[in-house]
């Protein structure tokens, strides 16, 4: 009796549909996903067509831009199997921890990457539950921080945790185990201070090492980190032999601090620097111009009859007038100048390296810009301006007082004009 023929093997693509792990076919140049199996889209709460509109950059939270992807692509080409630990973005907003194994292949003359992504969330929970107390503590510290490092000072070697490598945009098998792999990524402006803080602890002058600084991500951008560590062993002569440390990514906090500083320096209504920021800049420019022996001009600017605008049209229209004048002033001044809101309807222009005649011409240019502004929802207005320029070694308060006096002379002489310190009002309206 003859043996019946074996059934034909299933279509390989159909086999992929039954895999529990997500499989993605990727264009190496753009990181675009050109094909995925069922798990590839169901694991993310998406439909297949949704995934095919995405790329590694949009689905992988730990790959930030094309320069980083280009480096990863080179790493994939250099090894038989490239491993990366990161987080896929789920449709509902949470992130799925994944281990991704990627290989390179060619089909019909084109290069592709084949990536198999496994959700390692359940595995991490099991490993934590099964770990010994010391291992559990290490795991907890690693997950609670953005990275751990262990520096064998005597051997000149360093261990970087997978979390730390992921924070920098690398796979767990990348970055050589040597201190230079870390120190070489420090921002040049921060490296000396970090080294000084580290040396103070290594020499026993500080009980622990702690520093905030910038470190270069694989993408080329810089992260702000809070780094702290402790020498945990010394030799018989008291020389440090081993040091442990923990890193935290504080980039979000630093960005918020920068935003708050910027907001604190700006006038909320006009968007111009406020009086405090203007005074800070004025003091710095005054000191610089005095040292270099260069002139510094001040121009006080006041919106004419502004109270009548508020009384006749309301404060919302008055606010609109302030915003419109602020925009005109900002557009008209030079890049080297600074215009700030001094208070109420008054502005101050600081013009470094500018003598009185040039400052007078600039002031009249501002006057004409406001006078000739096209009509919109706000009534037309004019401005009065008082100009003064510094004398050699003059006190800043005296310079401010002279510019302020010139402004009041321009207003007393009829408004809509420029008054130069020590001279007659100029730039009067026609007629």
Annotated catalytic, 345? Answer: yes
What confidence tens digit (pLDDT) does each residue in 190-200 have? 999 999 999 99
CB 239 within 8 A of CB 261: no
User: Count of CB atoms within 10 A of residue 13's CB?
Assistant: 10
Confidence band, pLDDT 50/70/90 cuts, at residue 283: very high
- Is the pLDDT confidence value at 374 over 70? yes
User: Count of CB atoms within 10 A of residue 70's CB?
Assistant: 15
Dist CA 93 CA 170 (whole Å)? 23
Superfamily of domain 266-426: Reverse transcriptase/Diguanylate cyclase domain (3.30.70.270)
User: Count of CB atoms within 10 A of residue 405's CB?
Assistant: 15
Q: Tokens 């002058």, residue?
A: 205
pLDDT of residue 429: 47
pLDDT (mean) for 208-226: 95
Q: Select from 3.40.50.720, 3.90.1150.10, 3.30.450.20, 3.40.640.10 the CATH code of 132-254.
A: 3.30.450.20
Q: Do domains 12-123 and 132-254 have the same CATH topology?
A: yes
**Burial track 175-191 (b if 16+ CB lie within 10 A, e otherwise):** beeebebbeebbeeebe
pLDDT (mean) for 45-58: 92
pLDDT of residue 351: 95
- Is the pLDDT confidence value at 10 over 70? no
**Burial track 164-174 (b if 16+ CB lie within 10 A, e otherwise):** bbbbbbbbbeb
Q: Strand order of the sheet with strand 222-234?
A: 157-160, 147-152, 240-249, 222-234, 209-216
pLDDT (mean) for 80-86: 94
Residue-range domain boundaries for the chain:
12-123, 132-254, 266-426
Confidence band, pLDDT 50/70/90 cuts, at residue 431: very low
CB 366 within 8 A of CB 329: yes
- Is the pLDDT confidence value at 391 over 80? no
pLDDT (mean) for 177-184: 93
Q: Measured between alpha carbons, how far is residue 113 from residues 12, 286, 429 in Å?
A: 17, 60, 72
Active-site hit among 99, 174, 277, 345 = 345
- Is the pLDDT confidence value at 290 over 50? yes
Hey, what CATH class is 12-123 in? alpha beta
pTM over cut 0.75: no
Confidence band, pLDDT 50/70/90 cuts, at residue 14: confident
- Where on the phi/psi map is residue 415: left (φ > 0), alpha (ψ -120 to 50), or beta? left
pLDDT (mean) for 329-340: 93
């Amino acid at each position: 009796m003859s043996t019946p023929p074996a059934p034909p093997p299933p279509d390989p693509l159909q086999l992929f549909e039954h895999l529990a792990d997500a499989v993605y076919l990727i264009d190496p140049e753009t990181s675009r996903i050109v094909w995925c199996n069922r798990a590839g889209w169901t694991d993310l709460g998406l439909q297949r067509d949704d995934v095919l509109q995405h790329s590694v950059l949009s689905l992988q939270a730990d790959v930030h831009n094309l320069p980083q992807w280009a480096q990863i692509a080179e790493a994939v080409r250099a090894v038989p199997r490239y491993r990366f630990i990161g987080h896929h973005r789920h449709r509902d907003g949470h992130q799925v921890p994944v281990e991704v194994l990627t290989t390179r292949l060619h089909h019909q003359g084109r290069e592709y990457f084949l990536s198999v992504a496994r959700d390692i969330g359940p595995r991490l929970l099991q490993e934590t539950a099964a770990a010994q107390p010391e291992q559990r503590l290490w795991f907890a510290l690693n997950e609670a921080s953005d990275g751990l490092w262990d520096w064998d000072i005597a051997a000149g070697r360093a261990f970087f945790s997978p979390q730390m490598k992921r924070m920098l945009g690398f796979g767990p098998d990348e970055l050589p185990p040597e201190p230079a792999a870390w120190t070489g990524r420090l921002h040049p402006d921060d490296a000396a201070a970090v080294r000084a803080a580290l040396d103070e602890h290594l020499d026993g002058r500080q009980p622990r090492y702690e520093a905030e600084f910038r470190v270069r991500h694989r993408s080329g951008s810089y992260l702000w980190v809070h780094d702290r560590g402790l020498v945990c062993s010394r030799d018989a002569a008291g020389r440090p032999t081993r040091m442990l440390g923990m890193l935290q990514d504080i980039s979000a906090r630093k960005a918020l601090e920068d935003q708050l500083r910027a907001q604190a320096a700006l006038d909320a209504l006009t968007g111009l620097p406020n009086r405090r920021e203007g005074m800070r800049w004025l003091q710095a420019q005054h000191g610089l111009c005095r040292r270099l022996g260069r002139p510094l001009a001040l121009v006080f600017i006041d919106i004419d009859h502004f109270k009548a605008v508020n009384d006749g049209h309301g404060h919302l229209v008055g606010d609109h007038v302030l915003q419109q004048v602020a925009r005109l002033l900002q557009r008209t001044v030079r890049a080297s100048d600074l215009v700030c809101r001094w208070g109420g309807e008054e502005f101050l222009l600081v013009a470094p390296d500018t003598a009185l005649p040039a400052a007078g011409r600039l002031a009249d240019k501002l006057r004409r810009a406001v006078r000739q502004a096209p009509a919109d929802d706000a009534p037309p207005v004019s401005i009065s301006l008082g100009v003064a320029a510094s004398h050699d070694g003059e006190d800043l308060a005296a310079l401010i007082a002279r510019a302020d006096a010139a402004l009041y002379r321009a207003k007393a002489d009829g408004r809509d004009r420029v008054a130069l310190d020590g001279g007659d009002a100029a730039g009067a309206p026609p007629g």
